[in-house]
Amino acid sequence: MMAAMQPDYREVDPRELRVPPSRPQGADPGKLQRQIAKFGASREGMPPLWVFESSDGVLVIYNGATRATRIAKLSPGTTVPVEVIGKIPKNHAKSPKIREVLP
């Protein structure tokens, strides 16, 4: 029987997170506008973003690109909660960061 991996929660600057490979252009503009209208710059009650840690140590978003973009855009310097849900063997240091694709 495999032992369960302990949850790995961290507080990170969302501007430094790598965008998901499925969304290299960043967050969906319509979804971002809806979140901004509903939540503004607040991170209160925001669930942790799910991220993978790549072999070179950078964090790649799996779920939460819009939330990360909203906080990075409206509240620079504010950290967000992330849960590292696994490790990936590929390097992602050259993948775009959230701050590089901010609208």
Integer angstrom CA distances of residue 69 from 1, 35, 91, 94 = 39, 10, 22, 18
In the chain, where the domains are located: 8-100
C-alpha to C-alpha distance for 39 and 11, rounded to whole angstroms: 19
The single-letter code of the amino acid at 53 is E
- Right CATH number for 8-100 from 3.20.20.140, 3.90.1530.10, 3.40.190.10, 3.40.50.300? 3.90.1530.10
pTM of the model: 0.90
pLDDT tens for the 103 residues of the chain, in order: 455 568 899 999 999 999 998 889 999 999 999 999 999 999 999 999 999 999 999 999 999 999 999 999 999 999 999 999 999 999 999 999 999 999 8
